[in-house]
Structures are given as C-alpha cells and as structure tokens.
Amino acid sequence: MPYKAISDIGEFGLINRLSKLVEPTLAETPELLKGIGDDCAVFRLSDQTLQVATTDLLAEQVHFDLLTTPLGHLGSKCISVNVSDICAMNALPDYALVSLAVPPSFSVDMIEEIYTGMSRAASGYGLAIAGGDTSASRSGLVITVSMTGRTTPDRLCMRSGARPGDLLCVTGTLGGAAAGLKVLVREKNIMIEHLASNEPYSRSLMANLEEYTEAIRHQLLPEARLDTVRFFHEAGITPTAMIDVSDGVSSDLQHLCNCSGTGASIHENRVPINPQAREIADELQEDVIIWALSGGEDYELLFTLPKEQADRIGDRRDISVIGEVTKKEQGILLTDIYGMTVSLADLGGYDHFRR
Amino acid sequence: MPYKAISDIGEFGLINRLSKLVEPTLAETPELLKGIGDDCAVFRLSDQTLQVATTDLLAEQVHFDLLTTPLGHLGSKCISVNVSDICAMNALPDYALVSLAVPPSFSVDMIEEIYTGMSRAASGYGLAIAGGDTSASRSGLVITVSMTGRTTPDRLCMRSGARPGDLLCVTGTLGGAAAGLKVLVREKNIMIEHLASNEPYSRSLMANLEEYTEAIRHQLLPEARLDTVRFFHEAGITPTAMIDVSDGVSSDLQHLCNCSGTGASIHENRVPINPQAREIADELQEDVIIWALSGGEDYELLFTLPKEQADRIGDRRDISVIGEVTKKEQGILLTDIYGMTVSLADLGGYDHFRR
C-alpha cells in the first residue's frame, strides 16, 4: 500500500475518512442525532432535552509551548476551548472529564497548577469537573478534556442551518490571540538566542510586555462566549447556524457554509479587529487582517441570523455584523477595504498537520 | 517550594490531591451525583435515568508498544477499556468520543487501522462513536477515549456498597493479560537482540506463538464484560459493589474495600487462573498467582453480592466466588494454598508512575 502522509490530505481530509469508518456504529444508538461534523455531537436525552458533547486535545509543542505558557493558564484554556464548542451549539455546559499524560519531568505541584487553573475556569462557567484519567507520558504533556452540555431542540444551533440572506455575525474582536502569540514567540526567541550564545539573560533584559497584556491574554487565557449564549436565551435569539472561531474565520466560515450548502460575503471594514492586534501588527509590519481572519484561537462565536431578527441584537457592542450568507454558487468572498473582492479560501486556515 | 516527584505519592496519591482541587466545581452541577473516585462519574438525567461517564488515556511506551501491538487491536482495546468502566457501574454504553495525538511518522492508513478496530469493537458493544479530535503530536501516539452509558438508580453499582458478609466474585479468568505481555516482551527482546548484533531476523526465526494465542488475546484484545452486565439485568442481580479489574485484583479490591469501609478475605485456591497463563508461568518459572492478582489488564469484573443472592448466579461457569467481604479491622487478606494468610497489600498493584 503506498504511504500516504496525513499532510497530503490535511486534518479535514483525515476527519472525512475517519467519519466514514465510524458511520456503521451510529446505527447502534438512535438517540445520537449528530455524530462527527459539528462542534459537538448531539444526543437526545428526552423530547425536551438534548445533550451535546465534545472533546479537545492539547499537545505540547503543537498547541502550546511550556516556555511561554503558565501552567494555570494552560489548565484554564483546556476548559475554555471545550466550553467554546458547547457554546457553539447554543448550549450550557454540565460536566467535564480530564485526561492528562504527564512527562517524567513534571512535579506534583506543576500538575496541581494545571488543575487549579482548570478548577477556577470551570467554576466561572458553572461547570463540574467530574473525573478523568492521569497517566505517565514517555514524551510530552498531552491534555484531553471532554465535556457535555445541555440545550433544548428549539435552541440547538448546528453549522448547517444558515440560509441565503441571513446576516453573518461574530462576537468580540479577532486577531488578538494571533498577535499575542507573535509577541510571545518573539520574546522566546530572544531568550533562546541569549542562552545559545552563552550571554546572561536576566529579568532586566526582558521586554516589558505590559502594553501587550490584552493580546497575550487572548492567546493564553481565552474566554468562551458563554455570556453570548446566555444573552441569546434571554433575548429569544436562536441563530440559524453557529460555529466557534478556533481555526480562524476564513476556515470556520468555510465549514459553516459547506455544512449549510451556502456561500457568504464578508466585508473587511466590518471585521472587528482587536485594537492591540492592530498595534502589534503595525510594530511587526504584518497584515492584521490576516491574523484576524486566519490566525485562529480567538474562540469567538461566528453565527448567522435571519435579517428580521437583527434588531434583537440591539446595541450590543460585542456583536458585529460582518457580512451575509449568499447562495452556494457565489462562493465565500471577502470585499477588502479598497472594494476588491477575493475568495476567502485563498487565505486558508490553521491546520496542525500542515504546519 | 521543594520538588515533589509524582512517584513519591503514586498515581492514587496524585488523584486524591487533584480531587480536592476540583471539589469546588461540583457545587455547580447538582445533577452530578458522583465525581472522581469510582469507575465512572454519575450524572442524573431524570428520576429514572442516570448517565455514567468515564475517560481512559492510552499512551505509547506507557500502555502499549507499537512493536508488539497491531494498530487495529489497539483501537479495539481503547474502546474496550472504557466499556469495562461503564460495565463496572452496571450500565450499558451509549456513545464515545475519541481523541488522537498522532506522531509525524504515522500515515493515513495507520490511523484508519486504529479507527477500523475502534469501529468494529464499538459495533460489537452496541456503542456509537460520536465524535472526537485528531491532532498532530510532536512525540508519541496518545489515544484518549471518553464514553457515556446509562443505567437506572436501582441498578447503579458503585465501589462503596459492599457489606461484611457479602460474597466476593470475579468474572472470567485472571492472569491471561499479564502472561500474554510476558510472551510478547520476550519475543520483542529476542528480535531487538538479533537486530542489535546485526544478525538477520527473518520470519523463520520467530517463535510460533500459536500456543499462546489465548493469553496474547487477553493482552492485546481484551473484551469488556458487557455479557455479565446483561446477565445481571436478566437475572435481576444487582451487585452491592463493583469495580473492573484494570490494575489487578490486589489493587482494585483495595479500592473497593476502601470505598466501602470494609475488609475482605480471598482464597488462592478459588482464584480462577487463566489456564494458558499457568502454562506460560511454568515455562518462564514465574509465580502465576502474582500475575493473576497483580498483573492487571484482565478487564474482568470484581463484585460483591449478598449471600442470599448466591443462587441467582446459578451454574454460570464464568463467575467465581473467590472470598467474602469482612469488617474493615480484619484487613484485606489472602489465604494461600497452604492455608497461610498474608495481607494482599503486600502484593501491590500496577502504578504507571512507579514503574
């Protein structure tokens, strides 16, 4: 059999193939309304209640670098990225299970720091940490969190419900996480250069990162938009489709459009750029719109809404209408600030296997 | 802060400390009836239905060696070890989420082999694979499966319900998985020796492992005792306490007794030794009772039953009464074939952090 590297088909090509392999198992559980292919699986608990369930794995040197990541923040982030998936279904989180593969170099205190971060984040989201598995690892640290949440059939949001004419909205700001990562990697590289050339590297040589706090916070300590989900419930808003922005709007919007069988059109000048990301991009002479659309890890919510519900958003400043859903044939397009239209697919998203 | 190695406090010492850290989160979810400390967490879905949930992580070079483990078997085992936890709660499995951290050397076909094994096992257990996360790994292969199941409040079995006087029972046979591992490791070492000394190592030099098939199957392709759980439901049996034998009877019985606040007394001559394990132990001049009680990975069920329900077991040959539950003060004792009594704690169980 010829060797086929995963990078040849990419993460999403792989997921497609694996989905087909597990398809026969879905017949076993008629209560499972949705398997692979959305932010969460959906399982019917009763006529009035649906359970949603997700899992996210964070691996050392792939998702995080311990040189730039405080352990407590890492624990918190592992919880938040899963809560973000629960939120993307318009659901509220219930409980989490935590699996840790721990390298030999880790002390008890280090693991306790991770757990303290997890516990604090969980309490903030109203979520219980119900169990887990802790094992030795002969290689790097790997943290897997799986999580369940609940919603009702009339509130459930999948990726597949967008219709041409719907408004395309996003919460918060974009690009902050990518900007924060740039700053952290720059500082790390300076430190490594000093150490590699045997120069002293004391605290006095370190950059003052205070002015980058917000961007770094977006990268290391993202918060899931449970506040938005609660607002939806209070305001009687049910998005027609929703996805969380984990890989970047350009990639996640493509998932949403593929699942809905639609196209989309977004306007660069409506994309809510994180202000600090803009400053950092200026400083590094990079293009902030690329960070905002392809940087990933912002964990905001991207959702679609029938036009007639636009007024229900009211004056919430943390929700931006960035474009609208179009017919599939029109593709997924970005109109830039000069009025030029480009295909969003050309921007690309983040793929761990193709890094 | 002094450096405290995990091996100083062991896996169970660590779990105790982490449990305390997440305790505050339990208040968030009143439906969570049991958090860390049993084979599964227990979550109330309704007055009549409980959900149980578990997660198990298998890491390369800790839980498995790819030199001796076919990938399809590995996939199947990852599912079975979780189903075993569901069974230990006297519940039936519903759905699983699968997380994979995949090393760069893995091809698409290799991952598909793992998934094919998972899918086949899941279908056998009547379980859906509902989703997951697939990521690159910069180090070894790590597979995490989390799984939910359902049971009713009157059927639920925890570790904590055993009472002095109850019969202590175990399903199937013990020691097979440990014996299989011994054979596999021996063959691997012979191969490595050949390769290290640049000698050819062709198929003709390999041992004929056919006579060890059953033991190797116990190690590589264990089956969860869902058949026993179904039998319990049909026969109207509800064990007072139950745990799956993953670390070895000596260790798992201690967990059960600690949770129940009891002691226990087991008789060596009633322990159902796997016949092939006995042959392999003879061949390797090792003590088969140590494998049977401390080897781990047999994934049988260890449970307790009120004496008056003994007749409900009937003539099932795959359930053995190996002793009885005693008062806590009497400790956890093994009476050997010579009538000598030793403390089971001296045998020890398997602890990844102390290997």
Measured CA to CA in angstroms, residue B75 lies from A172, A272, A355, B113, B114 at distances of 40, 44, 27, 8, 4
B115 vs A22: CB contact, 8 Å cut-off? Answer: yes
Beta strands in chain A (DSSP E): 32-34, 41-44, 50-59, 92-102, 128-136, 142-151, 167-171, 241-244, 262-267, 301-305, 319-327, 332-335, 341-343
* DSSP one-letter string for A176-220: HHHHHHHHHHHHHHHHHHHHHTT----GGGS---GGGHHHHHHHH
Between CA B153 and CA B169 the distance in angstroms is 22
Of B26, B111, B138, the CB nearest to A62: B138
**Nearest chain B Cα distance for residue A229, angstroms:** 18
Q: Which residues of A115-136 are buried (b: 16+ CB within 10 A; e: fewer)?
A: bbbbbbbbbbbebbbbbbbbbb
As a whole number, the mean pLDDT across chain B is 91
The answer, yes or no, to whether residue A279 has pLDDT greater than 90, is: yes
Residues in B 11-70 with any Cβ partner in A closer than 8 A: 11, 14-15, 17-18, 21-22, 24-26, 28-29, 31-32, 35-36, 40-41, 43, 45-46, 49, 51, 53-57, 59-63
- How many CB pairs (< 8 A) connect A and B? 294
Question: In the structure encoding, which two tokens stand for residue A276, read together?
Answer: 């600090």
Asked if A329 contacts A264 with a C-beta cutoff of 8 angstroms, the reply is no
Q: Enumerate the domain spans of chain A.
A: 6-151, 159-181+214-354
Between CA B50 and CA B158 the distance in angstroms is 13
Per-residue pLDDT of A297-340, as tens digits, reads 999 999 999 999 988 988 888 999 999 999 999 999 999 888 89
Between CA A343 and CA A265 the distance in angstroms is 9
Q: How confident is the model at residue B107 (pLDDT cuts 50, 70, 90)?
A: very high
Chain A nearest-CA residue for B116: A21
How much is the pLDDT for A292? 94
Nearest to A349 by CA among A290, A304, A303, A300: A290
Q: How confident is the model at residue B192 (pLDDT cuts 50, 70, 90)?
A: confident
Of A18, A131, A135, the CB nearest to B36: A131
How much is the pLDDT for B28? 79
The answer, yes or no, to whether residue A261 has pLDDT greater than 90, is: yes
How much is the pLDDT for A348? 57
A115 vs B54: CB contact, 8 Å cut-off? Answer: no
For residues B164-188, average pLDDT: 94
How much is the pLDDT for B190? 84
Of B4, B35, B122, the CB nearest to A128: B35
The answer, yes or no, to whether residue B347 has pLDDT greater than 80, is: no
A138 vs B29: CB contact, 8 Å cut-off? Answer: no
Q: Which of A197-201, A289-293, A300-304, B168-172 has the lowest mean pLDDT?
A: A197-201
Please state the ipTM of this predicted complex: 0.91
- Residues on chain B touching A112 (C-beta within 8 angstroms): 17-18, 21
B140 vs A144: CB contact, 8 Å cut-off? Answer: no
Q: Which of A77-86, A155-164, A207-216, B44-53 has the lowest mean pLDDT?
A: A207-216
The answer, yes or no, to whether residue A351 has pLDDT greater than 80, is: no
Question: What's CA B121's distance to the chain center, in Å?
Answer: 16
Share of chain A above pLDDT 90, in %: 71
Between CA B35 and CA B52 the distance in angstroms is 10
Domain boundaries B6-151, CATH class: alpha beta
Neighbouring C-alpha atoms within 13 Å toward the C-beta of B330: 16
How much is the pLDDT for B355? 42
The answer, yes or no, to whether residue A237 has pLDDT greater than 90, is: yes
**Nearest chain B Cα distance for residue A338, angstroms:** 38
Q: pTM value?
A: 0.93
How much is the pLDDT for B52? 97
Task: Please give, one letter per residue, the 3-state secondary structure of A67-127.
Answer: CCCCHHHHHHHHHHHHHHHHHCCCCEEEEEEEEEEECCCCEHHHHHHHHHHHHHHHHHHCC
The answer, yes or no, to whether residue B351 has pLDDT greater than 60, is: no
Highest mean pLDDT among A56-70, A147-161, B21-35: A147-161
Domain A159-181+214-354 classified CATH 3.90.650.10? Answer: yes
Between CA A282 and CA A268 the distance in angstroms is 17
Chain A nearest-CA residue for B141: A139
How much is the pLDDT for B279? 94
The kind and range of the H/E element at B266 are strand B262-267
For residues A265-287, average pLDDT: 94
What lies within 8 Å, CB to CB, of B347 at 6+ separation is B248, B250, B290, B293, B294, B334
As a whole number, the mean pLDDT across chain A is 91
Share of chain B above pLDDT 90, in %: 71
**Nearest chain B Cα distance for residue A2, angstroms:** 9
How much is the pLDDT for B194? 81
Fold classification of B167-181+214-354 is Phosphoribosyl-aminoimidazole Synthetase; Chain A, domain 2 (3.90.650)
Residues in B 109-138 with any Cβ partner in A closer than 8 A: 109, 111-112, 115-116, 118-119, 122-123, 126-138
Question: What's CA A288's distance to the chain center, in Å?
Answer: 18
Per-residue pLDDT of B232-253, as tens digits, reads 999 999 999 999 999 999 999 9
Q: How confident is the model at residue B352 (pLDDT cuts 50, 70, 90)?
A: low
How much is the pLDDT for A195? 81
How much is the pLDDT for B258? 94
How much is the pLDDT for A337? 87
A41 vs B138: CB contact, 8 Å cut-off? Answer: no
The answer, yes or no, to whether residue B135 has pLDDT greater than 50, is: yes
- Residues on chain B touching A61 (C-beta within 8 angstroms): 138-139
